[in-house]
Chain A
Amino acid sequence: AQSVTQPDIHITVSEGASLELRCNYSYGATPYLFWYVQSPGQGLQLLLKYFSGDTLVQGIKGFEAEFKRSQSSFNLRKPSVHWSDAAEYFCAGNNAGNMLTFGGGTRLMVKP
């Protein structure tokens, strides 16, 4: 089955440290991939998307993600985390024409 997997349920990092959130996909062809962020009490907000082309994608709030076909991954990164980045992060993907699938989410906590 086509799916998106986020191996880490919770991650804690110190403010100012770098961050990498993992996302793995299982699609036969190159999928469309997205990262969303959800702050408490709010809906999901798009951080960035990958459709094709350059495998390093820049998003909002200083986030970036890299599509690696060889590893079936689309990991989200940020060089220096701010306390306001504490939230839940969702990876999502699909092949064109199929239903979008969300990963289970990774909850990020930021230590002062």
Chain B
Amino acid sequence: DAGVIQSPRHEVTEMGQEVTLRCKPISGHNSLFWYRQTMMRGLELLIYFNNNVPIDDSGMPEDRFSAKMPNASFSTLKIQPSEPRDSAVYFCASSTLGQGLSPLHFGNGTRLTVT
């Protein structure tokens, strides 16, 4: 079991650029979550997929953020255009069942810095 794999580990970009974060969930897990972690706001759920379908995207901050899950083994979180306030650590997590019904398995995160 390789765990949840996120790439890149670090991303530094300039304001206005497009950023794409990638996630490979654990094989067999049906639910995938994108979280953002900052000192000020802690852990925030951005979006939640179940069986590749977005179930709840109410945490996505604004239209600059979009997420896709084209198949059971891959998801992306895109920010376009990026802004300095998007700087944070972005985590992907997966689980066998829906939100809270089974433990979440987290990736090691992508640290995004927007200058």
A residues contacting B by CB (< 8 A) are 32, 34, 36, 41-46, 49, 90, 92-100, 102, 104-105
Contacts and interface: CB of A to CB of B under 8 A. Distances in A.
A43 B45 contact: no
Interface residues of B, number: 19
Contact of A43 (B56, B91, B98, B101): B91
B91 A44 contact: yes
Interface of B: 4, 42-43, 45, 48, 56, 91, 93, 98-101, 103-109
B85 to A, nearest CB: 20
Contacts of A102: 42-43
B43 A98 contact: no
A36 B101 CA distance: 15
Given A90-B43, A99-B45, A102-B43, A43 B100 contact: no
